[in-house]
Amino acid sequence: VPGSTQFPQLQPATGIPSSSAVAAPTTTTTPSPVMMHARRTPDPTPTPTVTVKLPPPSTATVTLPTPTFDWGRCSPYGCRRDGTPVR
């Protein structure tokens, strides 16, 4: 008789409440760190759009050397201040 009374007492005390309580916190803590890593990846993507603004100002510098020197008399290596070609 005393042996049969021990079984019903162990099942509700250790099996039902403990399993449901432990399962709840474990599932909520695991997905939180995964979301943080996913948000860091899209940040560096919008940066390359800034490089498009650089090419326009470079065209203005090409017009400056033309009136000061006569490039027709110069050799492919360059010219001196006197206008003579450099060999």
pLDDT tens readout for residues 14-43? 555 555 555 555 555 555 555 555 565 555
pLDDT tens profile 50-86: 555 656 554 544 555 555 555 566 666 767 777 666 7
**Domains contained in the chain, number:** 1
The verdict on residue 73 lying in a domain is: no
Q: Is residue 34 part of a domain?
A: yes
Within-domain flag for 70: no
32-to-20, 23, 25, 27, 80 alpha-carbon distances in Å = 21, 16, 12, 10, 70
So what's the pLDDT on residue 9? 61
Query: What residues make up the domain containing 42?
Result: 2-51
Give, in degrees to the nearest 5, the angle at Cα 17 between 11 and 19: 90
Task: Note whether residue 63 is domain-resident.
Answer: no
Distances (CA, A) of 3 to 9, 46, 68: 11, 72, 113
Residue-level pLDDT at 54: 58
Residue 80 confidence (pLDDT): 72
Q: Which residue has the higher pLDDT, 74 or 2?
A: 74
